[in-house]
Amino acid sequence: MDRRDALRMIAAAAAGISGGRANAQSAAAPGTSSMMVRKIPSSGELLPVIGLGTWQTFDVGADAAERAPLEEVLREFAAMGGRLIDSSPMYGNSEEVAGDIAARLGLRPKLFIATKVWTSGKAAGIRQMEESMKKLRAKPIDLMQVHNLLDAEAHLETLRTWKHQGIVRYIGVTHYTEGAHEAVSRIIAAQPVDFIQINYSVGERGAEQRLLPLALERGVAVIANRPFAGGDVFRRVRSKPLPPWAAEIDCTSWAQLLLKFVVSHPAITCAIPATAKAEHLRDNMKAGYGRMPDEKLRALIAAAIN
């Protein structure tokens, strides 16, 4: 598929985005009545469009005072209809902390737990993934991803077997830079995976050129990491008032506007902003509710940022 084909696919998806969004919103996420949900293409299972990342934010010690704010974050996340929480052995103590808190609050049945394998070698990968499942208290685990494509062929071979055996429910690959998008594209064009996780935001739109259209074509779910471009987009709007047209899509903050830009793309299944503060969590989660931007408003959001 060349650039012209990709642009045609994006145009076709944009033309149908309103209908697709209406269908998504008509199916309620568990425990809620209005958060927007998207289907995992390989199964039809529904996921709320706002998830939770754990990089840096959940990397704390065992002290109760350190973990208390994260307990509130995870409690509010589930109460507001969130399901997908994403971690990695690369994130320090984040897997263990997320697993402990989810167990303490009795939230495991409500959550969709995703983590990653980040090592070289088949045997080392198996050991690491088994350790991650213990830390997260999640076996079977909902989604296991090859982190930053490290030794992807070896780990995907293991994961295809594990999926058949019911040890994992879904498999995928991840990266966080635009320079890796072509490598991710080659993987999903050549072999079956359920998910990719890539960087996508109003400040990092490279995935729109080829990768997101290809994911739509191949029926692969997409998790958007870096939905705030590592905070860069916030720095761009720090001194700007929220535009009045933000009310047309029920946004009361820049965070909501930026997240709605991400999840309104028809290829995106879920965005995973990370936070250790309950007030920021609540603000982020509201981006999954209410009206979503059409192509005209998406263009306005991009212009306001860029």
User: How many angstroms separate the CA atoms of 245 and 123, rounded?
Assistant: 54
Residue 33 binned pLDDT confidence (cut-offs 50, 70, 90)? low
Mean pLDDT of 193-198: 98
- Is 48-90+97-229+243-305 assigned to CATH 3.20.20.100? yes
Residue-wise pLDDT for 6-21, tens only, equals 444 444 444 333 333 3
- In Å, how far are 93, 178, 303 from 181, measured between CA atoms? 28, 5, 24
Mean pLDDT of 87-99: 97
**Alpha helix positions (H), 112-166:** 122-136, 152-165
Domain spans in the chain, listed from the N-terminal domain onward: 48-90+97-229+243-305
Mean pLDDT of all residues in the chain? 90
Q: Which amino acid is it at 222?
A: V
Residue-wise pLDDT for 124-161, tens only, equals 999 999 999 999 999 999 999 999 999 999 999 999 99
Q: Are 264 and 258 in contact (CB under 8 A)?
A: no
What pLDDT, on a 0 to 100 scale, did the predictor assign at position 270? 98
Mean pLDDT of 235-261: 95
